[in-house]
Structure 1
Amino acid sequence: MLNGNKMGTFSKALLTSFEIINELYTALGAGLLGMIVLLKHGFDSHQSIKTLSVVGLTTASWIFITRQTEKLKASKKESSCDSGLGFSLAQHATDMGFTVIAGFLSLDSKGSKEIRSLYGSNIIQIQLDVTSTSTLHAIINNAAVMVFGEFEWLTEKLIQEQVEVNLLGTFRFSNAFCPLLRQHKGRIITITSHCSQATLPGLSVYGATKAALTAWSDGIRVELKKYGVSVLTFIPGSFTIQSNIMGKQLQNVQEMHDNFTTEQHNFYSDYFKRYNVYLSFITPPTVPKKIEDSNIYNVFECTLLDKYPKVVYKNEQLRYAFYHLLFKFSPWCLRDYFVTHFMQMPEYTPPIDATVYDDDIDDIDL
């Protein structure tokens, strides 16, 4: 008899749950009219509490969905691209109907000339050096330098360049625009990286600057929210072979090699060469080209046009999403294994003769 009572209670609960779910779908599908009919039915059948709960939940869901998908219309607003992502987004934003002011390190660069040939005066070009306090201009923070190499190999110059451009340059960019952002209730979009979530070996300084940008965005988002300014980050995914972010890698390799001590030459031996030969297969384009990934532009449009923007926007391949999920939730020993497997870099092997080292790296062709 006890078991029968339990089964009866369980069946009744299932039936009630089914009725609520069914009514939710009905209300969502029928909209406002459906909710009015549902309310009348509830009061007529003396089920006002259940009906009010369903209608309340439906209304909240409808507001949430509408709020998340509502878009602004592209207008003649300013946004701020010698190559890579900035080069591509400047073109896409122009195609969307924005007036784009694009910053170039040099107005004689290949990217600047290519933009002029494609868009003429429709993209306004300015010379922009984010390391200079006198030439700050941006709403979209995208300037970045990436040096690939183990931390011990990086010289002070290579470290400083990444910190100066990626981090301090972004600070100067945004600080210069804060008065206008407050006045127009604008938004700050900062391009970060998957490395901001899990810094990878060989990219320790680059990842540190991107993680710092994420932390900085978290802080100023709360500060600026009360003034009507939105702060969000955009992780655009991997497109290294379509970007020239590693365009100076050969010079960087030479810089690292020339500053090795005798002990470092002996210790790293041919590992340094094998490491950089492996990276040489990541060949940047000789002439800047628009990135071929439609999803980047779909997500980018959301960062610009979502009326109620999210905190973080991501464009990521399934492989990246899977690995970064593993990185986040795995114990440290497993995480390090997964990171190593993900990177698939050459393994270090101690040199057979530690006194012999080949100083010639000319066969590294990046």
Structure 2
Amino acid sequence: MLSSTGYMRISVLPIISFFRGLPALRRAISTTWTFKDEKIQVKPGKTAVLITGCDSGLGYSFARHCQDYYGLIVIACCLNPTGEGASRLMKDYPKGIHVIKLDLLCHQSLDDMKSEVAELAKTNGYEIHAVVNNSGVMTMGEFEWLTHEQIFEMVSVNLIGAMNVTKNILPYLRETRGRVVNISSHCSLASMPGLSVYGATKSALEAWSTALRIELEKFQVDVVTVIPGSYVTESLILKGVKSSSEKMWDSMSDASKMTHEGNFRRFYDYLEAIPVPKLGYIHDDALFERFDSALLSTRPKRQYVHGPLRYRLYFFLFTISPTVRIKEYLIKRFVNLPGF
């Protein structure tokens, strides 16, 4: 509207009304999100979840958490069913947690797992609500140092293993309209030196999860990924650093040893100095809040990301970096490993 002077006159009333309405808008959004995070109705002693990699770390903690807080029946897959983690789960939860052996590198073990799950479900009337693909292998080192076997193991466990387990459990999930929860990594969001193959497997896991989510939508089966942050010092994932580095060194040619010896020694001296923790429960309320939503929310998000402030800051900077060179500089600062 033009004023008598010929200039356009703008009323500030709509603007004031907009800002006055923001609190109500925030309340509406808050109410919506609260509604979306309602949990499914768990049937104690009947609703079951299958979790892989329960020998230690996240898997061990997730298994205990599901029993302690929700009374979920847990089918805990362990590589070593007579090891400390599996033994403690069976001792502390003789009725609520079933430990079964699972070696993701062995097809026979996958077939045996499928048969055991079928028997447990049939005998006890369990309704399998979810599979949590948590198993993971992380062998750190520059790509040229890694042996063929180490590369094969990471791809086979972190990616193909999750696919094989999910394929075996999908018939139950269609029946219960359950979900697949894939434990991913910050390495899927930004490629890290020293973790190139591990990061590639997690990026592929994210890509597979997206396609699988679309495929299973017609069956009302959700597919969710969880990026939990770093728990290297609270799990046994670095337990085999010394033996892994020895295998790498032994597989190198004399020329490669001459080229990489300095960086190689500094890199693994640094890793071997990291203390390997004892088996224990991970205490992180914020992590379990996200895990609970991924597992039990009636309307789960597609991805849940958790991590300390340092992680959030750096990954924000990665996304706004104006050039690739700046982003790669920030990645090296974030990784903070010898040689980079």
For the 8 Å contact 1:129–1:135, the answer to whether it is kept is no
Q: Verify: 1:74 aligned to 2:42, yes or no.
A: yes
Q: Where does 1:195-210 land on structure 2 (aligned, <5 Å)?
A: 195-210=187-202
Measured in 2, the distance between the counterparts of 1:27 and 1:240 equals 41
Instruction: Using the TM superposition, name which of 288-297 and 226-235 deviates more.
Output: 288-297
2:82 maps to 1:108: yes
Q: Which of these residues, 12, 15, 22, is aligned with residue 13 of structure 2?
A: 15
Using the TM superposition, give the Cα deviation of residue 336 of structure 1 relative to its aligned residue in structure 2, in angstroms.
1.0
CA-CA distance at 1:27 after TM superposition: 8.5
Distance in 1 between residues matched to 2:22 and 2:325, nearest whole Å: 46
2:280 to 286, 289, 292: 289
User: Retained in 2: the 8 A contact 1:240–1:282?
Assistant: no
Identical counterparts, % of pairs: 36
Contact 2:187 2:203 in 1 (8 A): yes
- The alpha-carbon deviation at position 233 of structure 1 amounts to 0.2
- Are residue 327 (structure 1) and residue 318 (structure 2) matched? yes
Q: Structure 1's 118 and 307: CA in aligned 2 closer, same or farther, altered over 3 A?
A: same
Flag the structure with higher strand content. 2
> Where do 1:1-366 residues align within 5 Å?
8-9=9-10, 12=11, 14-22=12-20, 25=23, 61=29, 64-75=32-43, 76-79=46-49, 80=51, 81-96=54-69, 97-133=71-107, 134-136=111-113, 139-285=131-277, 287-330=278-321, 331-347=323-339
Which letter maps to 2:314?
Y
| Structure 2 letter corresponding to 1:120 | P
| CA separation of 1:304 and 1:148: change in aligned 2, threshold 3 A | same
Q: Using the TM superposition, give the Cα deviation of residue 281 of structure 1 relative to its aligned residue in structure 2, in angstroms.
A: 2.7
Larger radius of gyration: 1
Letter aligned with residue 17 of structure 1: I
Deviations 1:222-254 (Å, cap 9, x if unpaired)? 000011110110001111100111111111101
What is the CA–CA distance in structure 1 between the aligned matches of 2:245 and 2:21, rounded to whole Å?
65
**SS of aligned partner of 2:236:** coil
User: What secondary structure, in the 3-state scheme, does the structure 2 residue paired with 1:139 have?
Assistant: strand
Return the alpha-carbon distance in structure 2 between the equivalents of residues 283 and 28 of structure 1: 46
Structure 2: state its 5+ residue gaps: 115-129
**Equivalent position SS for 2:47:** coil
Letter in 2 for 1:19: S
Give the partner amino acid of 2:146: L
Residue identity matched to 2:163: F
In structure 2, relative to structure 1, the CA distance for the partners of 1:272 and 1:25 (3 Å cut) is closer
Moved over 6 A (4+): none
Superposition CA RMSD, Å:
2.3
For the Cα contact (< 8 Å) 2:37–2:300, is it kept in 1?
Answer: no
| Cα separation, 1, equivalents of 2:64 and 2:30 | 35
Number of corresponding residues: 314
Partner deviation per Cα, 1:81-139 (whole Å, 9 max, x = no partner): 10111011000011122111101112111111222333333211111122233144571
